[in-house]
Amino acid sequence: MGSAGMSSDLVAAFLVLLGVAVVATSALSVQSVGMRFAKVFSLLMILYGVAMVAIGVSMTTGYVQSAGLSIIYSYGMVLVGGAMVVNGVMMARSPMQI
């Protein structure tokens, strides 16, 4: 492989793991665990968002070979990741009200 980019299999595995982590965190955040540890969940939201932005940018620039995916998916990942970062920062700054 003469390419300097990352393997698409490695990226796909990471995206699946990231998706599982986001879904599991979302399920826990709406339960009482999420109310008690709101700061932890806001930090996780920020970290997941940063990871999504980084992957989206690397897909947009061509560093990661996306297996024939449209560039729209890359931009979508950047936008959703950015929204997750903003939401996580807002959650960390404001107290959780029940």
Q: pLDDT tens digit string along 18-47?
A: 889 888 888 887 777 767 788 888 899 999
- Which residues sit opposite 6 in a β-bridge? 64
End-to-end CA distance of the chain: 54
Q: pLDDT tens digit string along 45-75?
A: 999 999 999 988 888 887 776 666 678 888 8
3-class state of residue 21 by DSSP: helix
pLDDT value at residue 1: 42
pLDDT value at residue 49: 93
pTM equals: 0.75
State which H helix or E strand residue 82 sits in.
helix 71-93
Q: Nearest-CA neighbor of 54 among 71, 35, 74?
A: 74
Q: pLDDT tens digit string along 75-91?
A: 888 999 999 899 889 88
Residue 64: phi and psi, rounded to 5, are -100, 125
